Amino acid sequence: MPIFSRAGLLSGLGMLLSLAAQAQTPAAPKEAPVYKASLDTAFQKGSGLVLSKLTAQQLENLTALGQVWGFVKYYHPVVAAGQVDWDKELFRVLPAALASRTTAERSALLGQWIAKLGPAAPCATCAKRPALPVRQEPDLVWLTDNRLYTAELQQQLDYLKHNRNQGSHYYVAEGNVLSPGFTHEEAYATHTYPDAGLRILALFRYWNMIQYFFPYKYAIGENWQQVLPEFLPQFVEAPNALQYRLVTLRLLARIHDGHATLNPDATLDQYMGAYIVPAAVKFIDRQAVVLRVRQDGLLPRPPLEPGDILTHIDGVSVVDIVKQRLPLTPGSNEAGQLRMLASDLLRGNTDQTQLQLLRAGKPLTVSAPRYLLDKLPPVRPQPADSAYRFLKPDIGYLTMAKTKQQQLPTIFRTFKNTKGLVVDIRNYPTDFSATQQLPGYFLTKPKAFAKFAKFDISYPGRFLRFSSKFLKPIGTPYTGKLIVLVDETSISLAEYTAMALRATPHAIILGSPTAGADGDVSRIVLPGNLVTRISGTGVYYPDGRETQRIGIVPDVQLRPTVQGIREGRDELLEKALELIDKG
| Other CB atoms within 10 A of residue 93 CB | 17
Q: Is 416 within 8 Å of 388 (Cβ atoms)? A: no
Q: Among residues 212, 217, 182, which one has the least CA distance to residue 549? A: 217
Predicted TM-score (pTM) of the model is 0.92
d(CA 365, CA 46): 50
CB under 8 Å to 412, separation ≥6 — which residues? 441, 475, 478
d(CA 232, CA 229): 5
pLDDT in 10s for each residue of the chain, 583 residues:
222 232 332 223 233 223 333 334 445 556 778 899 999 999 989 999 999 999 999 999 999 999 999 999 999 999 999 999 999 999 999 999 999 999 999 999 999 999 999 999 999 999 999 999 999 999 999 999 999 999 999 999 999 999 999 999 999 998 667 899 999 999 999 999 999 999 999 999 999 999 999 999 999 999 999 999 999 999 999 999 999 999 999 999 999 999 999 999 999 999 999 999 999 999 999 999 999 999 888 889 999 999 999 999 999 999 999 999 999 999 999 999 999 999 999 999 999 999 999 999 999 999 999 999 999 988 776 666 689 999 999 999 999 999 999 999 999 999 999 999 999 999 999 999 999 999 999 999 999 999 999 999 999 999 999 888 999 999 999 999 999 999 999 999 999 999 999 999 999 999 999 999 988 999 999 999 999 999 999 999 999 999 999 999 999 999 999 999 999 999 999 999 999 998 7
The three-state (H, E, C) secondary structure of 234-245, written as one string = HHHHCCCHHHHH
